[in-house]
């Protein structure tokens, strides 16, 4: 009887296995989000109510409440008909009140009243406008046109800047988006003043990019400040709408220092700006009046590696107290100050990383913030009072998105984890689960895909290194499998997270189905591990990172199911640097490598990022030489494919061209493939071509 049952069970498994769909590479590349799960996209609380909204497939607005299930309230077609628009989805959705919401496409702004079932176009700005930023009272819009700033208000347009020199750029991100900078326009809370970043790029070298879409080809010139060269000069402008006056703030420590993390005081009378020296090892938090007059330095921070403020001062209430996020004690924690520069209290003392302040409590006596939690793989919501009492709101480990109601009574919590595709919960103020709003089932259940495991290895310094292993669906531990190591390895990135698919791309599961083990390890320098873990890479990018990756290789070689003669490595950007480093500096380890958009010599990379980790070339000649890959081209033993977008403005093509030139000079054969007119990342339908090129190269050369 047992034998019959076993036969029936095996037969059932074979039938079930056969019914699974085959995951195609083009589907894995282009449809990852839609294949994994359905979610409550862009969920938001409706102000001053117990109702919430979200988007179904981005084109249907659904509304529910704490007591009633959600149902469709409006389609994008109905909205377009009402306002006379042609939007594809509810882009930039925002509730203005309990009845009215706004959407915009960046140039046209629409409002809609759900009680009246009626909408209108509220404002329209220039078609070539960018960086549109609304005032908090939604009465004015600041935006940029080329290198200038304009303000739309009540149908009238005011030109804030009128620079004759195109090298002066106002209202856009500066410092190449480092230091947490993501925009360049900042309305005062009083809505009568606008602050903005400005940069003078007169001394920054022009860098040529070839546009092949014209006949003949033409020059597209960009500003690109390379390590050790001349940099941009920043300033902060302050425009008074009523007085129509414009004043500027400049760095005090040097013309090419950095001005970052701008914030207004609640009364609009002062501005706080973090000033960082070019060496990025000294920061001053500066206080200015709204008239641009320097008041005082509130405090300073220094480091023997680097200082990298990424969060502006946060004011939890109308007082002069603010919260500053600093990793001065080894991890990003919250510190409460006043405008005299007095440290009132260190609010958190966690040995994990605070990520962002989400909002203040409605009473102004606490703030909600996200943090990694005890595990660096998580992304959780915490609350801390201004007296320093901390509590965890999201109790389930995983990666969370959350929205807090106006009165702090409820939290919408949507999360995924290793074995949770997506789950949306309604929580009370303390994080108690009140109800489940949605539990999604992964569409990947319909496909033949393997499993993923997370583990840790001990680095030489005793710290944990997290790794991810993806196995084929028909994995047999008695067989031998080739391995593809996918590597990034650089700062500000974490490849392995406690989320569905564990941070992996879906094409990795396709690769596993081709009979591969797909392996990734987050080495020293990776994000969300604290200062000690991240700063050991200082002045020697690539060195410690490779040591960690080789620990991962040693682990792989210890597994009986790994074919140690068939190891491949692939990565992009910093991962391209790591891939090429491993192929050239550890030539006996990998049989094949594919490096996309790689840094090959840090002297060719941008000032803001490169000098933070490597200092200037003349200050660290040994470090630059040790990690310049042109010094190791003669070492290549395996097959190497280099890939680059021809108009890459992040890692310029000079990196790959210099490396290819050195290969030619040394008589060493390798492969090179350009993606014409693509920037740093190959996107759109061409990405299928890219991943087919990458993975086929590995499969063909790793026999």
121, 110 Cβ separation under 8 angstroms: yes
Cis before 525? omega within 30: no
Other Cβ atoms closer than 10 A to 197: 24
Q: From start to end of 85-213, where are the E strands? A: 94-95, 100-104, 108-113, 118-124, 129-134, 140-145, 148-153, 156-159, 168-170, 185-187, 193-200, 206-211
DSSP 54-68: EEETTTEEEEEESSS
pLDDT at 358 over 60: yes
Q: Assign 560 to helix, strand or coil.
A: coil
CA distances from 153 to 138, 500, 628 (A): 10, 45, 53
Residue 200 has pLDDT above 70, yes or no: yes
Mean pLDDT value of segment 541-549: 98
Q: How far are the Cα atoms of 34, 180, 363, 453, 494 from residue 537, in angstroms, in the given order?
A: 37, 20, 43, 27, 16
Q: What is the pLDDT of residue 95?
A: 97
Cα radius of gyration (the chain): 27
Question: CA 220, CA 161: separation in Å to the nearest integer?
Answer: 25
pLDDT at 18: 54
The fraction of the chain above a pLDDT of 90, given in percent, is 95
Domain count, the chain: 1
Q: Considering the domain boundaries, does residue 325 fall inside one?
A: no
Residue 447, in any domain of the structure: yes
Confidence class for position 355, pLDDT limits 50, 70, 90: very high
What is the average per-residue pLDDT within 326-351?
Answer: 98
**SS3 letters for 400-421?**
EEEEECCCCCEEEEEEEECCEE
In a domain, 192, yes or no: no
Bridge partners of residue 289, in order along the sequence:
270
Beta carbons of 44 and 52 less than 8 angstroms apart:
yes
Residue 45 has pLDDT above 70, yes or no: yes
What is 602-653 written as a DSSP string?
GGGSBHHHHHHHH--TTT-HHHHHHT-GGGGGGG--SEEEEEEETT-SSS-T
- Measured CA to CA, the distance from residue 196 to residue 248 in angstroms comes to 9
Q: What is the average pLDDT across 560-582?
A: 98
Residue 582 lies in a domain: yes
Q: Answer whether residue 572 is part of any domain.
A: yes
DSSP percent split of the chain into helix, strand, coil, nearest 5: 20, 35, 45
Q: Which strands make up the sheet holding 399-404, listed edge to edge?
A: 399-404, 410-417, 420-428, 433-440
Would the pLDDT of 17 be above 60? no
Please work out, in degrees rounded to the nearest 5, the angle formed at the alpha carbon of residue 547 by the alpha carbons of 543 and 550.
135
Strand, helix or coil at 69? coil
CA–CA dist 628, 650 (Å, integer): 18
Distance CA 332, CA 637 (A): 43
Of 10-19, 296-305, 665-674, where does mean pLDDT reach its minimum? 10-19
Residue 8 forms part of a structural domain: no
Using the predicted structure, report yes or no on whether residue 79 has a pLDDT greater than 50.
yes
Q: What is the pLDDT of residue 38?
A: 80
C-alpha–C-alpha distance, residues 699 and 703, integer Å? 7
Catalytic positions, written as ranges: 573, 648, 680
* Contact by Cβ (8 Å): 383, 340: no
What is the pLDDT confidence band of residue 57, given thresholds at 50, 70 and 90?
Answer: confident
d(CA 184, CA 169): 10
Range(s) of the domain holding residue 535: 443-701
Tell me the mean pLDDT in the region 254-261: 97
Domain CATH number, residue 646: 3.40.50.1820
617-643 pLDDT, tens digit per residue, is: 999 999 999 999 999 999 999 999 999
33 has a pLDDT exceeding 90:
no
User: Does residue 308 form part of some domain?
Assistant: no
Determine the Cα–Cα distance for residues 188 and 186; give it in Å rounded to an integer: 7
Question: Is residue 610 domain-resident?
Answer: yes
To the nearest 10°, report the CA torsion of 420, 421, 427, 432: 0
Mean pLDDT, the chain, integer: 95
What's the CA gap between 107 and 125, in Å, rounded?
5
Whether 268 shows a pLDDT value over 90: the answer reads yes
Instruction: Sort 699 into a burial class: Cβ within 10 Å, 0-12 / 13-18 / 19+.
Output: middle
What pLDDT sits at residue 94?
96
DSSP 250-316: --SS-TT-EEEEEEE-TTSSEEEEEEE-TTSSEEEEEEEETTS-EEEEEEEEE-SS-----S--B-S
Q: Which CA distances in Å does 535 have to 81, 427, 466, 588, 613? A: 55, 38, 17, 28, 8
Note the pLDDT of residue 452.
Answer: 97
- How many Cα atoms within 13 Å fall on the side-chain side of residue 202? 9
* Angle at CA of residue 681, ends 680 and 687, nearest 5°: 150
pLDDT at 418 over 90: yes
Start-to-end CA distance of the chain, whole Å, equals: 45
Q: Does 700 score more than 90 pLDDT?
A: yes
């Amino acid at each position: 009887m047992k034998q019959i049952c076993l036969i029936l069970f095996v037969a059932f498994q074979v039938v079930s296995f056969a019914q699974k769909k085959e995951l195609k590479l083009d589907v894995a590349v282009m449809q990852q989000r839609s294949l994994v799960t359905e979610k409550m996209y862009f969920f938001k609380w409706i102000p001053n109510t117990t109702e919430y909204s979200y988007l179904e497939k981005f084109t249907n607005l659904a509304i529910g409440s704490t007591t009633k299930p959600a149902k469709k309230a409006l389609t994008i077609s109905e909205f377009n008909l009402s306002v006379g628009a042609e939007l594809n989805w509810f882009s930039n959705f925002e509730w203005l009140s309990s009845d009215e919401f706004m959407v915009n496409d960046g140039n046209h702004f629409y409002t809609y009243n759900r009680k009246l079932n009626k909408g209108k176009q509220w404002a329209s700005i220039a078609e070539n406008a960018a960086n549109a930023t609304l005032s908090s009272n939604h009465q004015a819009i600041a935006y940029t046109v080329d290198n200038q700033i304009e303000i739309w208000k009540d149908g009238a347009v005011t030109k804030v800047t009128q620079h004759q020199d195109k090298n002066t750029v106002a209202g856009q991100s500066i410092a190449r988006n480092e230091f947490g900078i993501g925009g360049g326009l900042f309305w005062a809370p009083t809505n009568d003043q606008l602050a903005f970043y400005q940069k003078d790029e007169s001394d920054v070298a022009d860098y040529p990019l070839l546009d092949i879409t014209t006949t003949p080809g033409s020059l597209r010139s960009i500003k690109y400040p390379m390590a050790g060269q001349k940099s941009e000069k920043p300033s902060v402008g302050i425009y008074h709408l009523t007085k129509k006056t414009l004043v500027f703030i400049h760095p005090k420590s040097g013309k090419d220092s950095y001005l970052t993390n701008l914030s207004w005081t609640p009364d609009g009378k002062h501005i706080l700006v973090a000033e960082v020296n070019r060496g990025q090892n000294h920061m001053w938090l500066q206080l200015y009046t709204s008239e641009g007059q320097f008041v005082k330095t509130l405090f300073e921070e220094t480091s023997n590696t680097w200082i990298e403020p990424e969060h502006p001062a946060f004011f939890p209430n109308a007082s002069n107290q603010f919260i500053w996020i600093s990793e001065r004690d080894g991890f990003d924690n919250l510190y409460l100050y006043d405008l005299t520069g007095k440290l009132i209290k260190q609010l958190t003392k966690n040995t994990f990383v605070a990520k962002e302040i989400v909002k203040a409590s409605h009473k102004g006596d606490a703030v909600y913030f996200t943090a990694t939690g005890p595990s660096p793989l998580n992304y959780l919501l915490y609350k801390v009072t201004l007296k320093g009492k901390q509590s965890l709101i999201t109790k389930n480990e995983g990666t969370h998105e959350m929205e807090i109601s106006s009165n702090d009574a409820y939290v919408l919590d949507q999360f995924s984890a290793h074995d949770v595709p997506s789950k949306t919960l309604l929580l009370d103020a303390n994080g108690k689960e009140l109800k489940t709003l949605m539990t999604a089932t992964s569409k990947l259940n319909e496909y033949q895909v393997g499993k993923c495991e997370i583990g840790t290895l001990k680095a030489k310094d005793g710290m944990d290194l997290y790794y991810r292993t993806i196995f084929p669906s028909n994995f047999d531990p008695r067989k031998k499998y080739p391995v593809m190591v996918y590597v990034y390895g650089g700062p500000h990135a974490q490849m392995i997270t406690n989320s569905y698919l564990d941070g992996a791309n879906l094409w990795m599961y396709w690769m596993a189905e081709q009979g591969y083990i797909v392996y990734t390890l987050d080495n020293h320098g990776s994000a969300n591990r604290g200062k000690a873990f991240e700063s050991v890479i200082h002045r020697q990018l690539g060195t410690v990172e490779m040591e960690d990756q080789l620990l991962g290789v040693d682990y792989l070689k210890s597994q009986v199911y790994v074919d140690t003669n068939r190891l491949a490595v692939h990565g992009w950007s910093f991962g391209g640097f790591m891939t090429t480093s491993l192929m050239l500096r550890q030539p006996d380890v990998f049989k094949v490598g594919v490096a996309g958009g790689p840094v090959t010599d840090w002297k060719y990379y941008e000032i803001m990022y490169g000098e933070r980790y490597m200092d200037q070339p003349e200050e660290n000649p040994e470090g630059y030489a040790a990690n310049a890959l042109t010094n190791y081209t003669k070492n290549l033993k395996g097959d190497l494919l280099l890939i680059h977008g021809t108009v890459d403005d992040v890692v310029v093509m000079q990196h790959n061209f210099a490396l290819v030139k050195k290969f030619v000079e040394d008589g060493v054969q390798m492969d090179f493939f350009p993606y014409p007119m693509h920037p740093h990342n190959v996107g759109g339908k061409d990405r299928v071509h890219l991943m087919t090129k990458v993975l086929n190269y590995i499969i063909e050369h790793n026999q």
